[in-house]
């Protein structure tokens, strides 16, 4: 069952059309990676899902309830983590989370327990330190705590890892992965390896429509483009090798990149014998699987 459904959603900013009939759904319990170039409309889509942005046409359903701009009914089952969360610096994390919890209608007894749990989860001190003294990473962690406070059915994260250092990013991704099956997660990012690491499904937004929306495995099958990368000692050797290996290759400095189909070992054997015949010996040879970046490039440039 889908917890989030977008039906033919369009959005214009003045004369500029941002989204044209966006249509997709996110199954309950899944982690949905939402990728696209800068300014393509990812944040706008997320804000429309949250009722923070008007919808030009179409409809959005969360847990079978329609989202209306400015409406708060659907929002109570949704957690939101903006890319740069802003807080009231004069509050302590406990006071801020208490305000958030009360607005979402949480029971005060449960709220106290959840606040302690969440602060421990995100490793923030349970004391009277005020938020204005927090680092960016600490603010991001508080953002996670507030987003997950009411155990939302749907968690929306807008470029959540952009402000985190590598360790913080890894911890955050582990935290998201640990929610798999319990909370449906939609997260946008530019870091495609993050999506590859934890997402079950990937949506690629381009030119206002979702150009691809499937599981990563299916997308890899659909856009499969395995490559062999050969590295040579000199640029001249690489150019020579390029002539020997013929079409369907790219030469980049000392590297020769070949697209292939079929079994790696068979193709590698043919390539190596052709090169040895011409006394060209590569310093390295690697087989590369299709990455999300390859799929992204394929989808957005086709």
In terms of CB distance, is 151 or 298 closer to another protein? 151
What is the Cα–Cα distance from 147 to 34, expressed in whole angstroms?
18
Sheet containing 284-288: order of strands = 249-252, 255-259, 227-231, 284-288
Q: Between 2 and 91, name the residue whose CB sits nearer to another protein.
A: 91
Only one residue has tokens 């209306």, namely: 68
As measured in angstroms, the least distance from the Cβ of 149 to another protein is 9
Residue 242 binds another protein, judged by CB under 8 A: no
Q: Taking CB under 8 A as the rule, does residue 160 contact another protein?
A: no
Q: CB of residue 71 vs another protein: minimum separation in angstroms? A: 9
Using alpha carbons, select from 176, 143, 188 the residue that is nearest to residue 45.
Answer: 188
3 is an interface residue for another protein by CB under 8 A: no
Point out which span in 86-94, 161-169, 207-215, 235-243 binds another protein (CB under 8 A). Answer: 86-94
The answer to the question of residue 183 lying near another protein (CB under 8 A) is no
Residue 265 to residues 25, 34, 67, 257, 268, Cα–Cα distance (Å):
40, 35, 53, 16, 5
Please report where in the chains the tokens 């483009």 appear, as a residue: 225
Q: Using CB under 8 A, count the residues that bind another protein.
A: 29
Helix 235-245 / helix 264-277 crossing angle, nearest 10 deg: 110
Beta bridge partners of 202: 33, 214
Q: Which of 30, 43, 45, 75 binds another protein (CB under 8 A)?
A: 75
Q: Out of 59, 66, 72, 218, which residue is the one contacting another protein (CB under 8 A)?
A: 72
Q: CB of 182: closest distance to another protein in angstroms?
A: 19
Closest CA to 95 of 119, 75, 76: 119
Using the contact rule CB under 8 A, the part of the chain among 21-29, 34-42, 51-59, 262-270 near another protein is 51-59
| Binds another protein (CB under 8 A): choice among 65, 66, 105, 278 | 105
52 touches another protein (CB under 8 A): yes
268 DSSP 8-state letter: H
CA distance 167 to 150: 26
Q: Give contact residues for another protein (rule: CB under 8 A).
A: 50-53, 70, 72-73, 75-76, 78, 80, 82, 84-88, 90-91, 95, 99-100, 102-105, 143, 146, 150
């Amino acid at each position: 069952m889908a917890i989030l459904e977008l039906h033919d959603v369009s959005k214009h900013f003045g004369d500029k059309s941002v989204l044209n009939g966006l249509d997709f759904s996110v199954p309950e319990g899944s982690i949905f990676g939402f990728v696209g170039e800068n300014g393509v409309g990812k944040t706008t889509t997320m804000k429309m899902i949250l009722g923070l942005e008007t919808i030009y046409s179409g409809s959005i359903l969360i847990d079978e309830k329609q989202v209306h701009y400015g409406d708060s009914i659907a929002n109570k089952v949704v957690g939101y983590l903006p890319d740069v969360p802003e807080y009231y610096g004069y509050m302590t994390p406990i006071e801020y989370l208490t305000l958030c919890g009360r607005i979402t209608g949480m029971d005060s007894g449960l709220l106290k327990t959840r606040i302690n749990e969440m602060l421990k989860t995100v490793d923030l001190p349970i004391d009277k330190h005020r938020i204005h003294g927090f680092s960016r990473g600490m603010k991001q962690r508080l953002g996670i705590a507030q987003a997950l406070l009411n155990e939302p059915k749907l968690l929306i994260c807008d470029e959540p890892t952009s402000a985190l250092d590598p360790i913080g990013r890894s911890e955050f991704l582990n935290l998201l992965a640990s929610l798999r099956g319990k909370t449906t997660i939609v997260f946008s990012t530019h870091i495609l390896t993050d999506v590859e690491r934890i997402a079950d499904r990937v949506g690629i937004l381009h030119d206002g429509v979702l150009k691809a929306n499937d599981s990563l495995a299916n997308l890899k099958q659909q856009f499969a483009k395995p490559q062999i990368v050969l590295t040579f000692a000199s640029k001249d050797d690489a150019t020579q090798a390029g002539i020997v290996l013929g079409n369907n290759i790219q030469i980049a400095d000392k590297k020769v990149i070949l697209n292939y189909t079929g079994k790696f070992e068979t193709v590698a054997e043919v390539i190596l014998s052709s090169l040895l015949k011409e006394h060209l010996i590569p310093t390295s040879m690697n087989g590369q699987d299709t990455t999300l970046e390859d799929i992204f490039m394929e989808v957005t440039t086709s």
